[in-house]
Copies of this chain bind each other. A is one copy, B any other.
Amino acid sequence: MCTAILCSLFVISAVFADDDFETILRKRNNLLQEELNMMFGSDIMLSDSEEQANKIIMELKTKEIDYGFGNPHHFNFSKHFFEYNDEVKDTELFKLIKAMPKGAMLHAHDTGILSPDYVLALTYKDNLFVCFEEDNINFLFSLETPTASCKTVWQSLKEARYSSGNIEKFDAALRKYFTLVIKNPNQVYTDINAVWSKFQQYFIVTTPLFSFKPIWEQYFYDTLKALRDDNVMYLEIRSVLPTLYDLHGSKYDTIDTAASYKKVLDEFMEDYPDFIGAKLIYAPLRSVDNNTVKEYLKIARELKKKFPDFFAGFDLVGQEDLGAPTKEFLQTLYEAKDEFEYFFHAGETNWYGTSSDENLADAIILNTRRIGHAFAITKHPLLIEEARKKDIAFEVNVVSNKVLKLVEDIRNHPLAVFLAQNLTVVISSDDPGLWEAEPLTHDFYVTFIGVASRHADIKLLKKLALNSLYYSTYHNKDKMVYEFEKRWTKFINTIVQDQ
């Protein structure tokens, strides 16, 4: 028995009294468990079959992690991507993730998706001319020897190849222009600008190749095909929409270029009606002045009018650290914000407090629908909260960030923090062709084993796929999710049956 005051004192002392060890152990385990319960993907409920499949997948995953934990020199994910991108393809877990329906690809640049071998094969097409310069190469499709400026001479690529005396060597030299993959990446790509310089050279070199209208259409068709083969069902593709040309001297402007894409998409959808579709994000270069951005927006207006179902919105591309900061166009972009959905690249940097870092604030204030990369946002707790309130998704590209030298050991990628904080994330691949990765499988694979917690399981994978659908701009989400669920169930059943 106790009086009211004494009783409350007892209660207080009980609260402050030492716990016994069992209680402390439970508290310790609960703390970690609660974190798992709030982690990205924790809201996914698994069916019995999914639980069974999960066991199989987690056995493969923890086996790999635990071996790496004991033998870090054998752990792939602390190494350069180029050291393991090929060999992992033979692993059971990679094959499972390849077979897994991965939903949508929401952050990719249209001419960086297919492999260097694919691009090399394009150089076997008729009417291609080449001009070799020191450390550079120019292409042009033409019926006659081009008269375009060139530091040496234009010659038929076919003739150059066959007169080289060694076709294999010739092609190997050519192929180097179509990939970032090399043997000693850390010695050659000594800093971010060095790798970006090579990265941008790819786009400069390949533009006259890809902007030949028949190739342009072929490349997009084959991209859709590659995505479908990688079990991706929908695409939102960023493009600068370059001027196209043909053999008869005709030029095709931005609107025509978009029309080409729309035409190819329609053909593809006819050939493969199980594919859900694709949309276009018009994403011209950011290193321009405000008047040029106004011109961009005029074009965007026309695109929206001409292709209301195909046009998704607007973005600006190019290395953020080199400018121009989004802030310079803030008013222009703000005034157009009710006309367009924005999908701004922002915070693709490891600087903190610079203009590239602060692009994150501009993207958010402009109500961007998604943020491309958002790599730097862990340093911005208020921006994270704003993004959460506005339901802005982060398009994370882990392999790209590794190859383009934002992060060295993938285990330090801020995606781990995003997942721990249950931020809205979709996984994409940026320019997988340049690092010889599958359209989406490598990024899912690296995320799952290399970045996420050892405890993160199939719920993470499913949530990543579902998010890519929810945060797409596709008009009929129900249909999309329904289609996805069908494929997912089939995927799960295959794993369980193959057991």
Contacts and interface: CB of A to CB of B under 8 A. Distances in A.
B28 A365 contact: yes
A453 B353 CA distance: 5
Interface in A393-409: 405-409
How many copies of the chain does the oligomer comprise? 2
Nearest to A31: B361
Contacts of A417: 378-379, 417
Main SS of the interface on chain A?
Answer: helix
Interface stretch (A128-136, A184-192, A308-316): A184-192
Interface in A334-383: 334-335, 338, 350-354, 358, 361-362, 364-365, 378-383
A411 interface: yes
A451 B350 CA distance: 10
Interface string A217-238: 0000000000000000000000
A350 B34 contact: no
Given A383-B35, A409-B408, A452 B73 contact: no
Interface stretch (A19-27, A96-104, A279-287): A19-27
B454 A354 contact: yes
A194 interface: yes
A190 B73 contact: yes
Contacts of A214: none
A412 interface: yes
A412 B350 contact: yes
A350 B27 CA distance: 24
Given A72-B191, A351-B411, A411-B351, A382 B34 contact: yes
A406 B408 CA distance: 10
A370 to B, nearest CB: 19
Interface of A: 18, 21, 24-25, 27-28, 31-32, 34-35, 38, 65, 69, 72-73, 75, 78, 186, 190-194, 321, 327, 330-331, 334-335, 338, 350-354, 358, 361-362, 364-365, 378-383, 386, 405-409, 411-412, 416-417, 420-421, 451-456
Q: 3 closest Cβ contacts across the A-B interface?
A: A353-B454, A408-B408, A353-B453
